[in-house]
């Protein structure tokens, strides 16, 4: 709790960078009393992730995902729960393009997907994703229309017989 209070009063980017070394610690999955410091770091990360720039998260993503793949299998329910919540927050910041749930076991994927769908941000996420798809589709339609217009050559009627003659020679 103290770490969470400290993190809430500091710059999120600085705090994020200061806590990243904890993600390279080896954890014993069978140790029920594994380091409470590491558990606190995971819980703080859950709160920091929405406040940190997506670029910073992308840089740390391989390290964090590797760590969370380990902690999500921890014997302690507290580690598993904190890891799931942190991953859900990361999902909403980075999207499903970068947070590939396929790298987790099937049961873990279902668990993560269930928590993602339960999250209050899920409806807004789906709507935003749909808007992005609509925007891309509209841009594609505009591009196709403009390309079609450019490719339509307005040939003066007087040159049509000459063009027919040339095409027969080819």
Compute the distance between CA of residue 25 and CA of residue 37 in angstroms, rounded to an integer.
Answer: 11
Collapsing DSSP to helix, strand or coil, 75 comes out as: coil
Asked if 112 contacts 104 with a C-beta cutoff of 8 angstroms, the reply is yes
* Statement: residue 108 has pLDDT above 80: yes
Provide mean pLDDT across the span 68-86.
Answer: 89
Q: Give the chain's largest Cα–Cα span.
A: 90
Give percent above pLDDT 70 in the chain: 73
Of 93, 92, 70, give the one whose Cα is nearest residue 83. 70
Does this model's pTM top 0.85?
no
pLDDT 10s digits, 110-156: 988 888 888 766 666 667 767 777 777 777 777 777 766 766 655 45
pLDDT of residue 87: 92
* Statement: residue 70 has pLDDT above 70: yes
pLDDT 10s digits, 31-61: 766 677 888 888 889 889 888 998 989 999 8
């Amino acid at each position: 709790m103290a770490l969470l209070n400290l993190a809430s009063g500091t710059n999120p980017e600085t705090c994020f960078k200061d806590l990243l070394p904890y993600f390279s610690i080896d954890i014993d999955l069978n140790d029920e009393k594994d380091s409470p410091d590491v558990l606190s770091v995971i819980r703080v990360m859950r709160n920091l992730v929405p406040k940190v720039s997506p670029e910073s998260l992308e840089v740390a993503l391989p390290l964090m995902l590797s760590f969370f793949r380990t902690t999500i299998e921890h014997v302690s329910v507290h580690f598993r729960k904190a890891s799931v919540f942190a991953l859900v927050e990361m999902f909403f910041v980075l999207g499903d393009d970068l947070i590939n749930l396929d790298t987790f076991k099937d049961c873990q994927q279902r668990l993560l997907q269930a928590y993602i769908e339960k999250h209050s941000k899920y409806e807004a996420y789906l709507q935003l994703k749909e808007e992005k798809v609509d925007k891309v589709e509209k841009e594609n339609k505009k591009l196709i229309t403009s390309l079609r217009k450019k490719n339509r050559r307005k040939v003066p009627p007087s040159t049509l017989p000459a063009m027919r003659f040339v095409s027969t020679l080819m």
